[in-house]
Amino acid sequence: MMEREDQRRILPTIKVPTLVIHGAQDRLNSTRLSEKIHRAVLGSEFHIIPQCGHLPPIETPEQTARLLGALLEQI
């Protein structure tokens, strides 16, 4: 991640339904960073999954799928 170009400047241009999911025990990205992403994408949803680290789709697939399913139902 340190070698990648910072893409946060494009976040306000996102115009599609967006879900920001953060694992409460994520040791790679802080909750604060995920909250900044959420605030930068107008209309996004933000969810913190307890007892989950950096990879919610792998660590908590059922909960991640429920959140994604709910988002898709809104479209």
For 2-47, the pLDDT digits (tens) are 678 888 899 999 999 999 999 999 999 999 999 999 999 999 999 9
Alpha-carbon distance of 52 to 23, in angstroms, equals: 4
* Count of domains for the chain: 1
Strand, coil or helix: what is 27? coil
Does residue 70 fall inside a structural domain?
Answer: yes
d(CA 63, CA 53): 13
3 falls within a domain: no
CA 6, 45, 34, 51 dihedral sign is: negative
CA gap 19, 45 in Å, rounded: 5
Lookup: tokens for 22: 């953060």
Global pTM?
Answer: 0.88
4 lies in some domain: no
pLDDT, tens only, 18-30: 999 999 999 999 9
Instruction: Residue count of the chain, please give it.
Output: 75
What range does the domain containing 47 cover? Answer: 15-74
